[in-house]
Amino acid sequence: MELRTLEYFVAVAEERSFTRAAARCHVVQPAISQRIRALEKELGEPLFERLPRQVVLTSGGAALLPHARACLAAAAAASLEFADRSGLLSGTLVLGTAGGLEGTSVPRLLGEYHRRYPGVQVRLTGAPSPVLMAQARSGEIDAAVIAEPPGGLPHGLGSRCLLEDRFVAVLPAGTRDPDHPMTLAEAARCPLIGYGSGSGAHAFVRDAFAAQGLQLDIAYATADIALQVTLVAEGIGIALTSYTNPLLRLDQRIVVVPLEPAIRLRKVLAWRLGNRPGPPLRAFLDLLTELPHTTHPTSATAEAPQDPQPAPQD
């Protein structure tokens, strides 16, 4: 009987579901199944009754639960005591991003994270999405905020959705009715400003164009949204960029138009899996589930465009 096993057990008991318990513990579901089964074998009797719609404790499970809680509480108390001594939680959290943290709840998360764990050194690094994914897999960075690739994330990476985003067309103000969607064919006829082919976002637009038999030709490639907006304002062309950037709603020189059909992308936090994440990352993931954070762009960007961004300790 090990602490981690009891942790899983309590999670299943409280969530009444193996799947949800796995999510809470940041592991895949079969891992929970196996260890619960091993525990049941060790104790000699089943702990849960697997019903079709939910999982309930057996009498044995009910008997174990208080002990398991007491055990975990004692361990937690010990951790807490040592956390007090050495600045709560210590360590380093290296977060990679391909840009576009604006509009997500990540800045607010980082603020809360920094308030709770001032002992953790948070480092932000920037790189294109593919590079970030490789770095996350190799353990060079703890996690990355990236757009989920069209083909799904590569193996060995876990993810959690941060934001359901979509691409929009950005045109000079006054040139178009904002409620009038733009077709991809129409966009393809204009000089295009957008993410370069090295970027992860590029693939989405390219695939969407290809699905319509169109070829994507980015005239001005940059990942800098401010620059994209400026280029549009200068009349260079139209930008295809993600909706959830505060600039798109603040800059008066431009108008934002939906695309038809919509090009959606999910911004996710991706991290390496294979062994349970270290304490700093685990705390971050826990924060992600704990804090109410919407994955819908409208409300998120409407309420906090100029969130006080915490200065990550470099």
Partner DNA sequence: TGGCTTTACGTTTATCGTAACGATG
Partner DNA sequence: CATCGTTACGATAAACGTAAAGCCA
Site for a second copy, rule CB under 8 A: 1-4, 6, 43-45, 60, 63-64, 67-68, 70-71, 74-75, 77-79, 81-82, 85-86, 90
Cβ nearer to DNA, comparing 3 with 73? 3
CA angle 82, 85, 90 (to 5 degrees): 75
> Strands 254-260 and 157-172, how do they pair?
antiparallel
User: Alpha-carbon distance 312 to 111, whole Å?
Assistant: 9
Q: Of 22-30, 174-182, 241-249, 293-301, which part binds DNA (CB under 7 A)?
A: 22-30
Residue from 4, 41, 67, 116 binding DNA (CB under 7 A): 4
- Residue carrying the six token digits 């639960």: 65
Give the one entry of a second copy, DNA, none that residue 31 binds, where binding means its C-beta sits below a cut-off of 5 to 8 angstroms depending on kind.
DNA
Q: Between 107 and 279, whose beta carbon lies closer to a second copy?
A: 279
In the complex, least distance from residue 52 CB atom to DNA, rounded to whole angstroms: 3
Taking Cα atoms as reference points, which of 14, 63, 67, 61 lies closest to residue 37?
61
Closer to a second copy by Cβ: residue 77 or 262: 77
From the list DNA, a second copy, none, pick the one residue 68 interacts with, judged by a Cβ distance below 5 to 8 Å according to partner type: a second copy
- Residue 38 or 70 with smaller CB distance to a second copy: 70
**By the rule CB under 7 A, 235 interacts with DNA:** no
Strands 55-57 and 182-183: unpaired
Give the CA dihedral 287, 289, 290, 294, nearest 10 degrees: 100
Q: Which does 294 bind (CB under 5 to 8 A by kind): DNA, a second copy, none?
A: none
172 Rama sector, left if φ>0, alpha if ψ -120 to 50, beta otherwise? beta
Q: Point out which span in 95-103, 126-134, 274-282, 298-306 binds DNA (CB under 7 A).
A: 274-282
Minimum CB–partner distance for residue 41 and DNA (Å): 10
How many of the chain's residues bind DNA (CB under 7 A)?
31
Q: Is 273 in the site for DNA (CB under 7 A)?
A: yes
Contact 158, 271 (CB under 8 A): yes
> What does the alpha-carbon distance between residue 120 and residue 53 come to, in Å, rounded to a whole number?
41
Instruction: At 6, give phi and psi (nearest 5°).
Output: -65, -35
Q: Which CB atom, from 81 or from 179, has the smaller least distance to a second copy? A: 81
**Of 150, 152, 154, residue with least CA distance to 131:** 154
DSSP string for residues in 28-43 = -HHHHHHHHHHHHHHH
H or E segment and range at residue 193:
strand 192-194
Which listed option, DNA, a second copy, none, makes contact with residue 185 (CB within 5 to 8 Å by class)?
Answer: none
* 90 interface partner picked from DNA, a second copy, none, CB below 5 to 8 A per type: a second copy
Q: Which residues bind DNA (CB under 7 A)?
A: 2, 4-5, 17-19, 27-31, 33-38, 48, 50, 52-53, 55, 139, 155-158, 273-276
